[in-house]
């Protein structure tokens, strides 16, 4: 499925909730459903800087697609990284690099996060793009 199609699915899901407390509850549920990351990746090497809470992100290539796995010590942050993984995992490096992730603003997520959580969201997204750039460079060598 293309990134834009996944984004539209997420937008449609969030439209079912009128109150932000319900959207936060949904984020928490998404975080709970995030597959566990291998404990070997819960080290400082995989820790994303710029997040208020701890977020570990691991990426690997499977064929021509990048697979992301992550975990966080904060339940809402875990849901946020879960949304990013749902959108970007299983995509090519080029698709990830070019992704705009417009769903973030369309569902109002950025407007309802504290400044530190918003910075964390940006840091997670940037790290995923950096992984994509690194894999693209490695593939072209």
Give catalytic residues, as residue numbers. Answer: 51
For the chain, how far is it from start to end, CA to CA, in angstroms?
28
Is residue 55 a contact partner of residue 120, using CB atoms and an 8 Å limit? yes
3-state DSSP call for residue 140? coil
Is residue 91 a contact partner of residue 3, using CB atoms and an 8 Å limit? yes
């Amino acid at each position: 499925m293309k990134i834009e199609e996944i984004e539209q699915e997420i937008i449609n899901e969030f439209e079912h909730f009128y109150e932000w407390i319900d959207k936060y509850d949904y984020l928490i549920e998404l975080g709970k459903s995030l597959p566990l990351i291998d404990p070997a990746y819960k080290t400082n090497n995989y820790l994303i800087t710029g997040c208020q809470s701890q977020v570990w992100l691991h990426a690997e290539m499977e064929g021509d697609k990048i697979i992301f796995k992550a975990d966080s010590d904060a339940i809402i942050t875990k849901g946020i990284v879960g949304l990013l993984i749902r959108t970007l995992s299983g995509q090519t490096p080029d698709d990830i690099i070019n992704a705009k992730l417009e769903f973030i603003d369309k569902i109002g997520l950025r407007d309802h996060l504290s400044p530190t959580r918003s910075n964390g969201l940006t840091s997670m997204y940037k790290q995923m793009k950096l992984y994509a750039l690194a894999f693209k460079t490695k593939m072209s060598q």
